[in-house]
Structure 1
Amino acid sequence: MTGIVIEDNEILLLDQDTDSTRSWSLPGGKVEEGETLAEALVREMREETGVEVEVGRLLYLCDNVKAHVVHVTFEARRIGGEVGTVTEGADTRPIRQVAYVKLDDLPGLGFSETFVKLCQEDFPGAGSYMGPKSAIGL
C-alpha cells in the first residue's frame, strides 16, 4: 500500500533501494495484523517520511504479478509532522532522503510520463483497478 501526497505541484517521495531501476519511490508498506488500510497508511507515512497524514480517496489498485503484490494507493493529505523525521529501523531498506519533488522533475528520477500525467490530472478514474503496475507507468 502506498500514499500520494501532492502539495503545490510537488509529490512526497523516498530515496531508498527498490526492486526497480528507480531509487525514488512512493512511501508505503505492508499492513500489519489488526490494522485497517487507513491505519497502516498513517503509520507507514509517519515512519517513512515523518509526515502525519489524513487518508483520502482510493486512487488506484494495480498488481505486480511477478512479485505477487497488489498495490493499493490512496491520496493522503499532510496534517502535521516534519518531513524527513524517519523512524530508524522501521523499514528493511534504509531511507536515504525524504523530499517533495516537482511533478515536472519526476521523469528525471525514473518515473514515467504516464504517472506524471495521472498526478497532474488528479488521477482520472480514481478508485478503479488499473491492471498491471506498468499501466500507471510504474
Structure 2
Amino acid sequence: MSSLLQVRVTGILIEDERILLVKQSVSSERGWSLPGGRVEQGETLEEAMIREMEEETGLVTKVTKLLYLCDKPDSSPSLLHITFLLERLEGEIRLPTNEFDLNPIGDVVMVPIADLANHGFSEKFMTIVQRGFPESGSYQGLKRNIGL
C-alpha cells in the first residue's frame, strides 16, 4: 500500500467583484481553473501558493486567509487540497511560459464572480464565493463539498 499523499494549493484572488481564473483543462466539463498547483519538497504552503501564483499569472501576492481544507481520496495519489484567499501586491497579469507544463495555461483573466458558472464552475462554488466564503478556515471533507 502506498503512503503517498499529494498536497495542492489553490489561490483565490478577488478584485472589484472579479475573480482570477486560468484557462487550463480541468475535466471534460471544465476548461477553467483557479491558479495553484503542487507543493514541492521543502516548501511551506504559503511559499508554494505564492510561487504558483507568480508562475501561472505573473502576479506577486500574499496569503491573507485560509479558506478551506479538503480531501480528494479518489486521486492517485490521494490529494489534500488547500484553498487560500490572496491579495495582489504587484505585477500585471500575463501568460506563463508553459515550457515545462504538460497541461499548459491558455489564458489568464479576471471574470465577474457571477460568470463563474459560464466558465464551468458549479453553482455551489459560485454561491460560496458570492457569500464571502462561509465556514472559511475549516475542514470541508471532500473537495466536491465546496463545489470544486
Question: How does the TM-score come out when normalised to structure 2?
Answer: 0.88
| Other-structure match for 2:127 | 117
Deviations 1:55-95 (A, max 9, x none): 11100011111111111000000111110242432533111
Alignment partner of 1:4 out of 4, 12, 16: 12
What's the CA shift for 1:20?
A: 5.1
SS in 2 for 1:79: strand
User: 1:90 & 1:41 partners in 2: Cα distance?
Assistant: 18
| Other-structure match for 2:146 | 136
Gaps of 5+ in 2: 1-8
| Other-structure match for 2:68 | 60
Q: What does residue range 57-136 of structure 1 map to in structure 2 within 5 Å?
A: 57-67=65-75, 68-136=78-146
User: 2:31 & 2:101 partners in 1: Cα distance?
Assistant: 15
Deviations 1:12-63 (A, max 9, x none): 0100122452010010011111111101100000001111101111000111
User: 2:26 & 2:64 partners in 1: Cα distance?
Assistant: 25
SS in 2 for 1:59: strand
CA RMSD of aligned residues (A): 1.3
User: 1:110 & 1:134 partners in 2: Cα distance?
Assistant: 14
Q: Which amino acid aligns with 1:83?
A: I
CA shift in 2, pair 1:94/1:29, >3 Å: same
Identity value in percent: 51
Q: Larger Cα Rg: Structure 1 or Structure 2? A: 2
The number of aligned residues is 138
